[in-house]
Structure 1
């Protein structure tokens, strides 16, 4: 498992670190998020995000990896028998330099190599995944603390600043039935559904802190579910399945599907119009799934956020019981993605298709007019130009739709 964690794609082996990196990344994100949530009870989501980034960024992980002499162990090129040094062999004419690895251990070096900072960070995440996969969360935490990230999963009662009659603000009984979970502190349900535009004296904060926590725990739970349920996936496929399952569009579609949008506490006329438009668009979607990239319209961020904030609320209320969160939120996200139903993001699929067929893909042309984003995707193939311009309220959606149309045209041309 450790060998897999230190092996990069460039080694051209049948295994490499990407699946373990995805697993380790989700665990690290959750471990750091829950630690910050517990440690800074009065800090808003923006400050928590900044603090988290300082812990989990590639730069931070690279520094920790270098501090522990990890780069020398990373495999970045294919195995060459001619350059292999036989352990213990003293017949060869090479010089080994001695270096102290720790207070007691020494390593012997024959040369040096360059390793990208992101590669070091990826290996740190992959090693977290390796320890987690083989020894469970306790082993994952031990590695995190060894590498220099001090976190724990000790439960700390959360001081609540809320004194509200939850039943007067939200339909507690209906929501508990939908979530299959009974809240000990219903004020968490109120906080999880309160938009920033709806601030009353008795509701001192909105859903963003719980969303910060819920985002991390749902990411981790779904990644662990996919990793354990589908062992033996080709490296990288877990990453694609996670991307198709853990994103704002998936959560937003699930929110609309189960009519959670009707329970959001907000006082924004624009948001109200956006939600109505989204619901009408969702009803036209033929697909019953809540994963993947089927939607051609963008969703108000709040719709995805409340799925995460509800996950965060259940986590806090249950004493940080992750299994309870998964049992509650998973039915809302069903059907979850499987290897058979997995669909790649159109931008990634188009890029890989062009590389495989040696088509020339131009750089996307992006513009913004009257608050709308337009993205033009152009590919030269079969002696012709395949081009599409899509417009949406956000750049990502516009690019997704344009890529989808160009890809469709290319495949139709190939099928003729």
Structure 2
């Protein structure tokens, strides 16, 4: 016969275990309720997406109609939304992020009130901050679409989700490189830009008239120690109609200093935003199959001091820069001497390695002067994106194709 005392002990133990399990249930259930924003499991999210496809399709159509996005192919937007729902960064979101930054910087550049780089930086940081962006998106009722498109988004994740949706809309519109339509979408989802982007040609004409009026009122002396500027224009394949803009780009002065009103700061800020969109366009066309994270990784590897300094040195811009800081002048002259030696050594060697990583040229001045040059071409051509893109393709694209693209293909 079984000992009842032993049975009782076993029952007590089993009861204790079951009570422990019961006690653990609330603890585990609270853990399950905490979901990572936009990072749910693929199967769970897919089932939610398929829960009510009709309602989702209606939401996408209304989204396109309400925010001036009717030109965006519905399948492109669906792909970007599904990619984000699976916890991945969409390539359209990355493209939209760069496009929105460019539109904001260009709008500030065209605004006469933002006459200095400091004012442009301050205002753009405010406009591009996540708090301001989410606030403006809430005002335009974009949060109405979030739970219909991404059912698993929590309340805490709602601000970031709204910003993601805004960037996806801008990016999906800008893949056609019609930045006027992208500006209209940006206006609809994130608030008004001061400039009228309804027609790029009319925008260019107004800029040309304004620049001519300002230029007639503001006269400045020529900078005589810049060397032969025709060499710079031949190297980049563009002839300036107004060489004062080229001089401004080559005038590398501290932010708190100026030379008879000449400074490259505003051109540098504009050039940085232009290079962002040109680089992202290049990689998106070269690798149409990669997702947002790798596209962002390629963009970061292509828009740093080392790469821009290499482009500057390839154009020999170090012989044409002007700076009034004697210490910087000595430093740059020493770097120029090292570069001459590196180029000479490269000619003697059989190595195919580029000469530009052989010496440390990640100098901020070399980087800034290239950004300023791109901004100057854009301003001199009356905001002609095609002309400026050609200068980018002639000066920076060869570096991306020859050195960065093979490295990316090897690793992926």
Instruction: Tell me the TM-score range normalised by the shorter chain.
Output: 0.5 to 0.7
Alignment gaps of 5+ in structure 1: 81-110, 350-416
Quick check: 1:11–1:76 contact (8 Å CA) kept in 2? no
| Higher mean displacement: 232-241 or 274-283 | 274-283
| Distance of aligned partners of 1:207 and 1:181 in 2 relative to their CA distance in 1, 3 Å threshold | same
Give the Å deviation of 1:44.
Answer: 0.9
Among candidates 110, 113, 129, match of residue 38 of structure 1:
110
2-structure distance, mates of 1:79, 1:68: 20
Partner residue of 2:127?
55
Give the Å deviation of 1:224.
Answer: 1.7
Does 2:353 match 1:301?
A: no
Quick check: 2:229–2:320 contact (8 Å CA) kept in 1? no
SS in 1 for 2:262: coil
Quick check: 1:189–1:310 contact (8 Å CA) kept in 2? yes
SS in 2 for 1:143: helix
Greater strand share, structure number:
1
1-structure distance, mates of 2:398, 2:177: 30
1:15-414 map, 5 Å: 16-40=88-112, 43-74=115-146, 113-133=155-175, 136-147=178-189, 148-150=191-193, 151=195, 152=197, 153=200, 154-155=203-204, 156-157=207-208, 158=211, 159-160=214-215, 161-165=218-222, 169-196=226-253, 203-279=260-336, 283=342, 287-288=353-354, 297=360, 299-337=362-400, 340-343=405-408
Higher relative contact order (Cα pairs below 8 Å, separated by 6+ residues): 2
Give the Å deviation of 1:17.
Answer: 4.2
- TM-score w.r.t. the length of structure 2 is 0.65
Give the Å deviation of 1:266.
Answer: 0.9
| Distance of aligned partners of 1:326 and 1:78 in 2 relative to their CA distance in 1, 3 Å threshold | closer
Quick check: 1:217–1:312 contact (8 Å CA) kept in 2? yes
2-structure distance, mates of 1:263, 1:213: 21
Give the Å deviation of 1:198.
Answer: 11
Give the Å deviation of 1:323.
Answer: 1.3
2-structure distance, mates of 1:261, 1:217: 22
Give the Å deviation of 1:128.
Answer: 0.6
| CA deviations over 1:244-264 (Å, ceiling 9, x no partner) | 112222111211232211111
1-structure distance, mates of 2:79, 2:107: 29
Quick check: 2:232–2:315 contact (8 Å CA) kept in 1? no
SS in 1 for 2:242: coil
Quick check: 1:192–1:207 contact (8 Å CA) kept in 2? yes
Partner residue of 1:397?
none
Give the Å deviation of 1:124.
Answer: 1.4
Calculate the aligned-residue CA RMSD, in Å.
Answer: 3.4
Quick check: 1:29–1:56 contact (8 Å CA) kept in 2? yes
Greater helix share, structure number:
2
Quick check: 2:109–2:270 contact (8 Å CA) kept in 1? yes
SS in 1 for 2:371: helix
Give the Å deviation of 1:143.
Answer: 0.6
Partner residue of 2:86?
11
2-structure distance, mates of 1:119, 1:79: 11
Quick check: 1:210–1:310 contact (8 Å CA) kept in 2? yes
Give the Å deviation of 1:211.
Answer: 0.4
2-structure distance, mates of 1:223, 1:165: 36
2-structure distance, mates of 1:62, 1:296: 44
| CA deviations over 1:269-289 (Å, ceiling 9, x no partner) | 321343245446663897428
Give the Å deviation of 1:184.
Answer: 0.8
Give the Å deviation of 1:19.
Answer: 1.1
2-structure distance, mates of 1:144, 1:78: 21
2-structure distance, mates of 1:18, 1:40: 36
Give the Å deviation of 1:204.
Answer: 1.1
Quick check: 1:289–1:335 contact (8 Å CA) kept in 2? no
- TM-score w.r.t. the length of structure 1 is 0.65
Alignment gaps of 5+ in structure 2: 1-75, 347-351
Give the Å deviation of 1:177.
Answer: 0.8
